[in-house]
């Protein structure tokens, strides 16, 4: 019996080592794939980012007094569709030349990805998921907001206070806020403080720049009336129905239903996935946060098991 146990232990050790080698080989393949995908952009313009360019340009417009919003297509370069307060926050960063600050932000996005998946090996695996590479090339606010969502789900109660500000940029974070409210009672007061703080900031800004906010609302109306299958949007736009507004409302309804299920079952990972779905415009890169779902699922599964019961190794 003792010899059999030794053989089983040896078999497990050898296979664990082989799995680790294969895992790192896949991770290195992911890093190599991302480097290859970035090579053309670096050769062309040093690695400038499509979405971050709009943020940087918005900051420059704030400094120069130019309008933040203009009539344009949903996929036009430089189009800015966020609250004007975000443009003000970008103003100090826009004092730095665009290329270096783009790479600083790209490094921040990579660190957010590392936080979401839990290890550098898992980062390499994530880079094999095309939306992640696209997101790290275009550099929206997707990964930082996803990191804030994970922090609110898995961090200390005060971390929930970040969700209202995240919701002002990406409405999907409201799904996580609802989940935290019903399933993390110790976080409620911090969520309320976050709501009050974010609302106060926005109200003050509306009072100071009523025209800018009117232009923002008009830009949303113009975008809502556009058609998703217009030729300028490219193949990375994912839609359920052709209407921009209809597509968003449909996805918002589906995300809301998933959040109700998540609240009833205590599945934070499902609320996180719902938040990923409920973005105003679902480009392929917006699916990048889904790489965090396996880790969230594993952590919740482990936490639900009786103490001392063995569980499988964590993802990554």
Residue 83, pLDDT > 50, answer: yes
In three-state secondary structure terms, 75 is coil
Q: Which two tokens stand for residue 5?
A: 């146990």
**Is 288 within 8 Å of 140 (Cβ atoms)?**
no
> What's the CA gap between 177 and 184, in Å, rounded?
10
Query: Does residue 242 belong to any structural domain of this protein?
Result: yes
pLDDT of residue 68 exceeding 80: yes
Domain that holds residue 213: 44-304
181 part of a folded domain: yes
User: Which tens digits make up the pLDDT trace of 247-295?
Assistant: 999 999 999 999 999 999 999 999 999 999 999 889 999 999 999 999 9
Q: Which two tokens stand for residue 22?
A: 């294969």
Domain-located, residue 19: no
* Residue 37 maps to a domain: no
Phi and psi angles of residue 249, each rounded to the nearest 5 degrees, phi first: -65, -35
Return the CA Rg of the chain: 22
Where residue 314 falls among pLDDT bands split at 50, 70, 90?
low
User: Domain for residue 68, yes or no?
Assistant: yes
Q: Can you list the alpha helix ranges (DSSP code H) found in the chain?
A: 2-45, 50-64, 84-90, 98-117, 120-126, 130-138, 142-154, 163-169, 173-183, 188-208, 210-224, 244-265, 268-277, 293-304
Residue 1 inside a domain? The answer is no
Domain count within the chain? 1
pLDDT (tens digit per residue) in 195-237 = 999 999 999 999 999 999 999 998 888 777 777 665 556 678 8
pLDDT number for residue 11: 44
- pTM of the predicted model, to two decimals? 0.89
């Amino acid at each position: 019996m003792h010899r059999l146990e030794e053989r089983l232990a040896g078999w497990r050790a050898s296979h664990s080592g082989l799995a680790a080698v294969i895992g790192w080989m896949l991770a290195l393949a992911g890093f190599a794939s991302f480097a290859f995908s970035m090579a053309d952009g670096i050769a062309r313009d040093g690695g400038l980012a499509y979405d971050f360019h709009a943020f940087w340009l918005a900051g420059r417009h704030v400094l120069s007094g130019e309008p933040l919003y203009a009539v344009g297509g949903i996929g036009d370069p430089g189009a800015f569709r966020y609250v004007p307060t975000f443009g003000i926050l970008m103003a100090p960063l826009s004092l730095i030349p665009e290329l270096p600050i783009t790479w600083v932000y790209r490094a921040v996005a990579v660190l957010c990805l590392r936080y979401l998946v839990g290890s550098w090996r898992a980062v390499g695996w994530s880079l094999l998921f095309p939306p992640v590479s696209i997101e790290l090339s275009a550099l929206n606010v997707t990964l930082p907001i996803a990191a804030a969502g994970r922090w609110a789900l898995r961090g200390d109660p005060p971390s929930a206070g970040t969700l209202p500000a995240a919701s002002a940029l990406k409405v999907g974070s409201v799904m996580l806020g609802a989940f935290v409210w019903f399933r993390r009672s110790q976080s409620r007061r911090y969520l309320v403080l976050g709501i009050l703080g974010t609302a106060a900031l926005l109200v003050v800004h509306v009072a100071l720049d009523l025209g800018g906010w009117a232009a923002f609302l008009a830009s949303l109306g113009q975008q809502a009336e556009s058609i998703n299958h217009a030729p300028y949007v490219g193949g990375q736009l994912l839609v359920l129905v052709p209407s921009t507004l209809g597509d968003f409302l449909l996805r918002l309804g589906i995300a809301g239903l998933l959040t109700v299920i998540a609240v009833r079952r205590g599945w934070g990972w499902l609320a996180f996935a719902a938040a990923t779905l409920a973005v105003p415009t679902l480009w392929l890169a917006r699916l990048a946060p889904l790489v965090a779902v396996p880790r969230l699922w594993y952590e919740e599964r482990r936490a639900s098991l009786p103490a001392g019961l063995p569980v499988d190794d964590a993802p990554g």
